[in-house]
Amino acid sequence: MVTVDRIELLAVGPEGERVTWSSHLDPMHEAMIVARLTLSNGVEAIAGTTTYSEHEFDRAVFSAASLMAPFMLGRDAFDIAGACADMRRRHVPLGHLAVSLFDIALHDGKARTRGEPIYRMLGAARDAIPAYASSPWFPTDQAYVDYCRKMRGEGYRAIKIHPPCVFDDDMRLVKTLIEEFAEQDIGWSLDAEGTYTPDEALRMGRVLEAAGWEFFEAPLPDADLGAYKALADALDIDVVCAGNALPHPLLIDHALGMGAWDRSRFDVTGIGGFTGGGEVMAITRARGRKAEIQSWGYTLTQAANLHLMLAHANCGRFEQPTPAEKYEFGARQVIRPDASGLVRPSGLPGLGVEMDRDLIEPFVYARREFVR
């Protein structure tokens, strides 16, 4: 039996450019919470999740992982279903995030041991997927226009806009983009961060669907399922949630079943890792829906979500956070679209990402070690 013999947890706070996704939010301190598992067969497994906070780097997710880590020591590293079931029973604040981190690391360790990428271990549906550029917030309409032109020049064939999240400003911006790029075939989507009233969401949705935009994300708070159902019933454009407030497969199944959302929306680093993500993919497929996977974060976060998407056939596009260079910090292998607008993993076993330990070390602001 291969066991988990050592766990190292790191909270990493890179310096540099800070961005945000709405005019009502301050620039974010985006931390990387990294778990390194040493297995008894000598394999080192890794996983990472990204946290976002406005004033300083977050410690809550690091603490959650620290509270969960002792339950992982000595476990059968390849009995991932058993480990996940046990973690879900533990009383750990923000437990779903800790479960996700260790579930991903166990999958990485198993796939590294087998010498294959995770998505192939899970049953590859494909080897590459189209990407869309996911924008930060910009202070002017012209800055959005310039950004979209730049993304087109970098090979992106689809773009998601994070607008100011002030309805009148957002409407003006959307109409500007529709006019500016009328002659270009771009897959557009809008993420309003849950800031609209039901009436505003309906008005915006009608503009987006008339212009042929692909989906309308988070016009309302995730938990307002009744208002979401009314909106989805009234619009032809696909309406999806933000994917952060209801991170449980059964809640997602309920929302899809009642017709509140047209697609599932979640991040593998918050839904319970590949185990929870696989459950939601099965639910989504059974409902005849597409999955709209969230992957905003550093390369380890992106890679985990990419592997899940490649293992299943009911995902449309990979979300590429931009500016891309910011989120590639510390990673020796990165995810970028090729000339055809497709992204793919590195081809290395597991997640396919190696971290530059010397580079990230000066930015480590919290560290814990657990030894069997």
| Residue 186: predicted pLDDT | 96
| Residue 8: predicted pLDDT | 98
| Residue 183: predicted pLDDT | 87
Residues of the chain with CATH 3.30.390.10: 4-115+357-371
pLDDT tens for residues 290-339? Answer: 999 999 999 999 999 999 999 999 999 999 999 999 999 999 999 999 99
| Residue 16: predicted pLDDT | 86
Strand partners, 131: 318
Q: Please state, in angstroms and as integers, the Cα–Cα distance from residue 168 to each residue in 1, 171, 202, 224, following that order.
A: 60, 5, 13, 22
Task: Count the alpha carbons within 13 Å of 292 in the hemisphere toward its beta carbon.
Answer: 25
Q: State which residues of the chain have pLDDT below 70.
A: none
pTM of the model: 0.97
Residues of the chain with CATH 3.20.20.120: 120-343
Q: Which two tokens stand for residue 108?
A: 């990485």
pLDDT tens for residues 145-184? Answer: 999 999 999 989 999 999 999 999 999 999 999 999 998 9
| Residue 345: predicted pLDDT | 97
| Residue 180: predicted pLDDT | 96
Q: What is the CATH number of domain 120-343?
A: 3.20.20.120
- Domain 4-115+357-371 CATH (choose: 3.30.390.10, 3.30.70.870, 3.40.1180.10, 2.40.110.10): 3.30.390.10
